[in-house]
Amino acid sequence: MKKLDISKQEKETLDAAITHWREAGLIDDRQATELAESYEVKGFDWKRLAQYAFWIALSCTVLAFLSLFVDETVLRWIRGLYDTPDTVICVFCFTLAVFFYSWGFRHKARHPDRSFTNEAIMALGVFATAAFIGYLGKIIDRGSGHFSLLFLASVIIYGLLSIKLASRLIWVFTLICFGVWFATETAYHSDWGFRFWGMNYPLRFTLFGALLTGFSLSWQKRIKPLQPFQPLTYIIGLTYLMVALWLLSIFGNYSDMDKWSAVRQWRIFYWGLLSTAIALGLAWYGLKRKDHVAREFGIVFLVINLYTRFFEYLWDNINRAVFFLILAASFWFIGRWAERIWRGKNS
């Protein structure tokens, strides 16, 4: 029987679980021995190396493309192509996108286990699609300035592609484009100002993140084509929500930097209180429902909010030495607390 490759930490967890089951009489010595011999510590995390290698390869591809624009020979060639009709470039990008998606779909069908390679090919298709939509916008533009419709088109195209190709990566780009569309659409309807219906960007995205998170928890599971992407929507929705809340706790609902800088931070304390309360509630909900995503988001942003308030209210009001001593003591306390939990679980 082929043994399961696991990390050292995972082995320690499984060893402790088998020992507990044996002592509790749930399994006998023979079963415990068989279970212990069914896995082994892997020598090197090749999966992680493959993941990082493909992401670095994609990053280098983007950098290589960008570096072309600083090469004088290439710049002369681009100037020569400057008169190329947008329609030609648009069709070329569309063809390129179809090629990458077709390649990725066939490769995924033949090699479903090569997930990183498949997603890397899909990512190239995503970049080509973005270029296609951009040039399509230039072709159909009539000077209205309503270019947020291009991001809406991106959301629809990426959404359909992610369902058709069962690609989690494309679904991530779908939700990112959805956020960009929301920002540009509300900006367009506010005449490109910073306030829309009396809300600045952080407050708008607080509501946006809350709605996206609520959709992932209540409705997405009922829509069969979207069910596989529910965990991703949940994570990205919480990211929008908690980052926006944290920014709201710093800047309040101000859209003018001069007005914000003239206001003492304690006057927008209620936003910080709201952000901290929601992070605390999220951590409690995660612990209560055994929701690891909610628990980790809640704990991380609770710590971020507490330290943000610490810097806001004490940086200019106490001696620097005292400030850093308090900071050190707080981190020491967190370390001791985490160590106590870790030792309790191991024992």
Query: Are 23 and 48 spatial neighbours (Cβ–Cβ below 8 Å)?
Result: no
What are residue 4's DSSP bridge partners? Answer: 39
Average pLDDT over residues 45-57: 56
Share of residues in the chain with pLDDT > 70 (%): 69
Distance, in Å, from the CA atom of 49 to the CA atom of 232, rounded to the nearest integer, reads 23
Query: Are 161 and 221 spatial neighbours (Cβ–Cβ below 8 Å)?
Result: no
The pLDDT of residue 331: 64
CA distances from 337 to 6, 117, 230, 299, 342 (A): 28, 41, 33, 13, 9
Residue 333: Cβ within 10 Å count: 10
What is the SS3 string spanning 276-289?
HHHHHHHHHHHHHH
Average pLDDT over residues 51-60: 58
Q: Is the pLDDT of residue 72 over 60?
A: no
Exposure b/e, 174-204, CB count within 10 A at least 16 = b: bbbbbbbbbbbbbbbebeeeebbeebbbbbb
189 vs 345, more confident: 189
pLDDT category, 212, cuts 50, 70, 90? very high
The pLDDT of residue 235: 92
Share of residues in the chain with pLDDT > 90 (%): 8
pLDDT tens profile 99-126: 888 887 787 778 777 766 777 778 788 8
Closest CA relative to residue 327, chosen from 298, 303, 295: 303
The pLDDT of residue 144: 63
For the chain, the 3-state helix, strand and coil shares in percent, each to the nearest 5, are 80, 0, 15
How do 4-6 and 39-41 pair as beta strands?
A: parallel
CA distances from 297 to 43, 71, 237, 284 (A): 32, 44, 11, 11
Exposure b/e, 92-117, CB count within 10 A at least 16 = b: ebbebbeebbeebbebbeeeeeebbe
The pLDDT of residue 341: 60
Mean per-residue pLDDT of the chain: 76
User: What does DSSP assign to residue 198?
Assistant: T
Amino acid identity for residue 178 in this structure: F
The pLDDT of residue 44: 47
Residue 69: CA count within 13 A, CB half-sphere: 4
Distance, in Å, from the CA atom of 254 to the CA atom of 243, rounded to the nearest integer, reads 16
Taking the model in full, what pTM does it have?
0.67
Task: Determine the Cα angle at 238 with ends 153 and 280, to 5°.
Answer: 160
- CA 46 to chain CA centroid, Å, is 23
63 vs 136, more confident: 136
Query: Are 128 and 97 spatial neighbours (Cβ–Cβ below 8 Å)?
Result: yes
pLDDT tens profile 237-265: 999 999 999 888 888 777 766 665 666 66
120 vs 60, more confident: 120
pLDDT tens profile 131-190: 888 777 777 766 666 777 888 888 888 888 888 878 888 898 899 989 989 988 888 887
- Tell me the chain's radius of gyration from C-alpha atoms: 26
The pLDDT of residue 213: 92
Residue 145: CA count within 13 A, CB half-sphere: 7
The pLDDT of residue 65: 56
197 vs 258, more confident: 197
pLDDT tens profile 20-48: 888 888 888 888 888 877 767 665 455 55
Using CA of residue 14, residue 294, residue 255, residue 184, what is the dihedral sign?
positive
Average pLDDT over residues 216-230: 87
Q: Is the pLDDT of residue 329 over 60?
A: yes
- Look-up: residue for tokens 């896995």? 39
What are residue 39's DSSP bridge partners? Answer: 4
